[in-house]
A and B are shown apart, each in its own frame.
Chain A
Amino acid sequence: MSVDSPYTHKVWSEGELSKIVPGGLPYPMLSDPGGRIGQEYMVYDEENGVDIRGRFLIDPDGVLQAIEILAPAVGRNVAEMIRQVKACAYVRENEGEATPAGWEPGKQALKPSPELAGKVCEIWSPEMAF
């Protein structure tokens, strides 16, 4: 989503994006004229009239699960975005579990409990964060 019109999105898609991704992007390119939606998501920069780099992960119930907002000159880490979707989906499907730092599918999740308090060091170590 950007403040560009859908016609500008079309020109960008047909002129450039379709050369990078055959057939164009497989999801809608949303238009936010005047930054009305960006204001609600707290990413609208009034001085420059643009929506800055905000990323919002929304679950199947329409509930916010993750937010990231970056300076305009800094690009995002797509792999980390995908990891967060997988981790949020995992804890949604496995009630009572939590994914520690650096968790990826296949790595051990935690079951927070009074018994685990003070003993995380027995099952988790810093190298598991990478």
Chain B
Amino acid sequence: MTLHIGKPAPEFETSAYMDGEIRRVKLSDYRGQWVMLYFYPGDFTFV
């Protein structure tokens, strides 16, 4: 898998925390919206 601007972003599904709940989230859940996907080295660090 390589990344290219103008090509589909790699699809994923994983668990997530939001609003007090843990749930499954897929990238394709956000089709029709702009998505900013942020990776960071670990909780309790800055963005």
Contacts and interface: CB of A to CB of B under 8 A. Distances in A.
A81 interface: yes
A28 to B, nearest CB: 4
Interface in A3-46: 3-4, 6-13, 16, 24-25, 27-33, 37-38, 40-43, 45
A72 B2 CA distance: 22
A99 to B, nearest CB: 15
B9 A24 contact: no
Contacts of A3: 42
Contacts, number: 143
Interface of A is mostly: mixed
A56 B37 contact: yes
Interface residues of A, number: 56
Contacts of B7: 63-64
A2 B42 CA distance: 6
Interface stretch (A47-55, A100-108, A110-118, A120-128): A47-55
Interface of B: 1-12, 14-20, 22-23, 25, 27-28, 30-44, 46-47
Given A12-B43, A58-B30, 20 more contacts: A6-B17, A7-B22, A24-B19, A28-B17, A28-B25, A31-B17, A41-B37, A41-B39, A50-B41, A51-B39, A53-B38, A54-B37, A55-B36, A55-B39, A58-B27, A64-B3, A64-B6, A65-B6, A66-B5, A85-B34
Interface of A: 1-4, 6-13, 16, 24-25, 27-33, 37-38, 40-43, 45, 48, 50-67, 72, 75-76, 78, 81, 85, 88-89
